[in-house]
Structure 1
Amino acid sequence: MPEIQMPKLSDTMTEGTLVAWKKKKGDQVSAGEVLAEIETDKATMEWESPEDGTLSEIYVEEGGKVNVGDKIAFIGGEGEEAPREKEKEEKEKEPEAKEEEKKKEKPKEEEVKKEEKPEEPKAEEKEKKRAPPPKVEKKEPEAEKRIPAIEKPEEARVKASPVARRIAAELGVDISSVKGTGPEGRDTETDVRAAAKSKPTAPTPSVPAAIKAGESARIQLSGMRKIIAQRLVESLGPVPHFYLTIDVDAGPLMEAREELKSAGESADAAKITVNDFVLKAAVMAAVKVPRVNSSFDGDAFVQYADVDLGIAVAIEDGLLTPVIRAAQDKSLREISELAKDLAHRARNKRMKPEEFQGGTFTVSNLGGMGIDSFSAVINPPQGFILAVGKMTKVPVIDDC
């Protein structure tokens, strides 16, 4: 059974934060079962175990940040232990190997015997010399150990991951009042958020509850927010942006939607939204104008045969763009079902890396948020993005 390493969950991921363990040390796990919650540069998502076995060792605690490829746990077979002892033995053998090399460099038996004879008095001298120091050394560590316990007794009682403490500070939750459900009763991010929701709602303050009037707070960006900002700033540089805006009559679209509802497939037809029509129309447009289904590469366009449609989905701590592969071959109903499934799993942190990587162009719809229009930034390395605003009823002069 292999040691479990920090997985590469996105094409730009170099490190990850282990937000929460879903299993405790000693638990049985099955391949495909959720093992941990990991924050990448794109999202916080649940990660499934790649192996069957026993979670014998956890190397990275909740809140720990490690590089991709670093070991985070060990899943062993029946009776199999994590390779800790082997590592210790190898470390212990290192100084012995060095001593043997030194002995080989010295003259043969005569010098070796000379070294063996003075060992007895040296051992006695060492015992005499070692006797006094421990009395002094014992007092200092005892004093040092007592100081933190007296100064901060509450911190010693509360077990919480760094992420949970940060979220508690942001939401104004008393970490000591949270009931932890993590390993050994440790407070997790989920516990803190649940405690925040159960708090009685206070009158709406003009500033966040955790910040006093007249003061300010520095809120650290998540890894995902940093990468989003970095990539979009990079996009504005090398990719020449220009924006085109047009108003479209949505009347025919609404008529088509009503026809679907009354066509005898009421249960399924009612689930097809205006956004589904927009997605299907965008795919059809990309087929008609293939230059939009391309990426910008220095002095050339890379044009793609398949329309891999990216759908911008706002999630709690950032933005994900799940992809509908070969959307040009999908019907309206198929696009509708896939879009809903991908958006639902994105918001619930159940996405697989391959499901939000490699889109050829993106649709971002803020109409549901009441936005009239906006200028979206292209998602690199793509060469096109469609920004959609809300539908509005307005009087129109009919030329006919």
Structure 2
Amino acid sequence: MPTEILMPALSPTMEEGTLAKWLVKEGDTVSSGDLLAEIETDKATMEFEAVDEGVVGKILIAEGTEGVKVNTPIAVLLEEGESADDIGETGGAKDRDADSHAAPHPEQATAPAKGYGDDGAAAQQGKGDDAAPAAPAARSGDGERVFASPLARRIAADKGLDLSQIKGSGPNGRIVKADVESAKPGQKPAAAETVKAPAAQADKAPVAAPAAPGAQAEQIRKMYADREFEEVKLDGMRRTIAARLTEAKQTIPHFYLRRDIKLDALLKFRSQLNKQLEGRGVKLSVNDFIIKASALALQAVPDANAVWAGDRVLKLKPSDVAVAVAIEGGLFTPVLRDAESRSLSSLSAQMKDLAKRARDKKLAPHEYQGGSFAISNLGMFGIDNFDAVINPPHGAILAVGAGVKKPVVNDAGEIEVATVMSVTLSVDHRVIDGALGAELLKQIADALENPMVMLA
């Protein structure tokens, strides 16, 4: 029976995406693991692999289509012996029930096409003892539906396997060919951690509903009806940035800590290191030192190495530091994991790699999700100081300005010229209190003003 290929959720937050490019065409034979298409999420362009084998019978969504919802059928895969004639007008099997034409439920969308019995296999009517073995039950012992591809069901039937005892690795836990091939008779499913959606908080203050975007756009467009303008359509990334920044400013109680940091010792130390590392092709930036100083500060003040998790705070052990990277039309925050234990040259090399792939939109979700702390550096643009918006669920973000020569009073009470960098720490007051945030910023400043400690 024809099997629908569904729009995948390529990240935990993905709700829709753009089907950027098909890598197969109708009539192509594919196997599990073959690349089918390139999908643009709100953050990156990712490759989508097949989980079943068969022939691409029909492509339902043309490449370049935007706003394709997760779990929407995008193509139909045919099994051996099937042809395009077996595909109905809506893309599924011709004999599927009328109610199957409704929009797929996230769980139901991974079920095989209808036309099979309750056990998912064609009914073996009027056949004798030589009939093919009965297909495994499509429901577990507690009555829950078991979802598997038609090919997986056939292999399971041949091997005498109980599908309810097999843990699926396909979309939404669907059992695929590889799962049944590696399973053994009587195998118990691996324990899986069930994550339940948090219940709505009854005491949460109601938020006034804003005007519909279309109506708001029309009102503003009328204001400028007599002026020449260009209308720029929002892509997925811009919409996501707008939503997350609105959420951050409306729901996170920000407070700000500001401090000047003298950079002369760091600039001298950096110059010496870069001369010694020149033969290895390594050139450290001031930003590399800021990343390292922040990572060490999070270890020195472990209570500040935390994130807000709705009804609790999660305290992290490693220092996973995110760094804002400006790209065309948006912003990425790739995360450098375990930064406290990494060398400066290692951090520098990884940061260059992540920044390059961020600009090419080639980062995988795990490379830009997570972390407890972020850095946004606009100093290279000549910005003296600014306030950054916290990227939820992070506990804080450090806004870094330019290093500027200024007159300062030294320890001897004399006026001298020093290179001074202004920084602002934006803090989530639900996670970090004022004194704790001040101690974190002090640790960062001490490390940057005494850079040798970062090598200890």
What TM-score results when the alignment is normalised by the length of structure 2? 0.54
Provide Cα deviations, 1:43-72, integer angstroms capped at 9, x if missing partner: 241324346876554221122422112232
Instruction: Pick one of 262, 270, 274 that aligns with 1:257.
Output: 270
For 1:45-64, list aligned pairs within 5 A: 45-50=45-50, 56-61=57-62, 62-64=64-66
Q: Could you tell me which amino acid in structure 1 is paired with residue 387 of structure 2?
A: S
Instruction: Return the offset for 1:348.
Output: 0.8
For 1:1-400, list aligned pairs within 5 A: 3-26=4-27, 35-40=36-41, 42-50=42-50, 56-61=57-62, 62-74=64-76, 84=87, 87-91=92-96, 214-263=227-276, 265-268=277-280, 270-297=282-309, 300-400=312-412
**Residues 89, 322 of structure 1: alpha-carbon distance in 2 compared, 3 angstrom cutoff:** same
Q: Could you tell me which amino acid in structure 2 is paired with residue 237 of structure 1?
A: Q
CA distance in 1, matches of 2:328, 2:32: 28
CA distance in 2, matches of 1:29, 1:258: 55
Instruction: Return the offset for 1:244.
Output: 1.0
Structure 2 unpaired stretches of 5+ = 100-223, 413-456
Provide Cα deviations, 1:303-348, integer angstroms capped at 9, x if missing partner: 1112221111122221111112222222212211221111111111
CA distance in 2, matches of 1:308, 1:353: 15
CA distance in 2, matches of 1:366, 1:92: 58
- Higher percent of residues as strand: 2
**Residues 79, 309 of structure 1: alpha-carbon distance in 2 compared, 3 angstrom cutoff:** farther
CA distance in 2, matches of 1:329, 1:38: 35
CA distance in 2, matches of 1:281, 1:294: 17
Q: Is the 8 A contact 1:239 1:296 kept in 2?
A: no
**Residues 278, 221 of structure 1: alpha-carbon distance in 2 compared, 3 angstrom cutoff:** same
Q: Is the 8 A contact 1:360 1:382 kept in 2?
A: yes
Identity, % of aligned positions: 43
Instruction: Return the offset for 1:243.
Output: 0.8
Q: Could you tell me which amino acid in structure 2 is paired with residue 394 of structure 1?
A: K
Deviates more, 1:4-13 or 1:337-346: 4-13
| Paired positions, count | 282
**Residues 339, 53 of structure 1: alpha-carbon distance in 2 compared, 3 angstrom cutoff:** farther
Provide Cα deviations, 1:112-167, integer angstroms capped at 9, x if missing partner: xxxxxxxxxxxxxxxxxxxxxxxxxxxxxxxxxxxxxxxxxxxxxxxxxxxxxxxx
- Give the RMSD, CA atoms, in angstroms: 3.3
**Residues 298, 397 of structure 1: alpha-carbon distance in 2 compared, 3 angstrom cutoff:** same
Instruction: Return the offset for 1:368.
Output: 2.1
**Residues 92, 72 of structure 1: alpha-carbon distance in 2 compared, 3 angstrom cutoff:** closer
Structure 1 unpaired stretches of 5+ = 95-210
Q: Is the 8 A contact 1:11 1:357 kept in 2?
A: no
Q: Could you tell me which amino acid in structure 1 is paired with residue 396 of structure 2?
A: F
Q: Is the 8 A contact 1:377 1:385 kept in 2?
A: yes
**Residues 340, 218 of structure 1: alpha-carbon distance in 2 compared, 3 angstrom cutoff:** same
What TM-score results when the alignment is normalised by the length of structure 1? 0.61
CA distance in 1, matches of 2:21, 2:226: 34
Matched residue SS, 1:248: strand
Rg larger for: 1
Q: Could you tell me which amino acid in structure 2 is paired with residue 311 of structure 1?
A: V
Matched residue SS, 1:390: strand
Matched residue SS, 1:314: strand
Matched residue SS, 1:344: helix
Q: Could you tell me which amino acid in structure 1 is paired with residue 95 of structure 2?
A: E
Q: Could you tell me which amino acid in structure 2 is paired with residue 333 of structure 1?
A: S
Matched residue SS, 2:409: coil
Matched residue SS, 2:392: coil
Q: Could you tell me which amino acid in structure 2 is paired with residue 72 of structure 1?
A: I
CA distance in 2, matches of 1:395, 1:37: 55
Matched residue SS, 1:90: coil
Matched residue SS, 1:359: coil
Matched residue SS, 1:392: strand
Q: Is the 8 A contact 1:43 1:317 kept in 2?
A: no
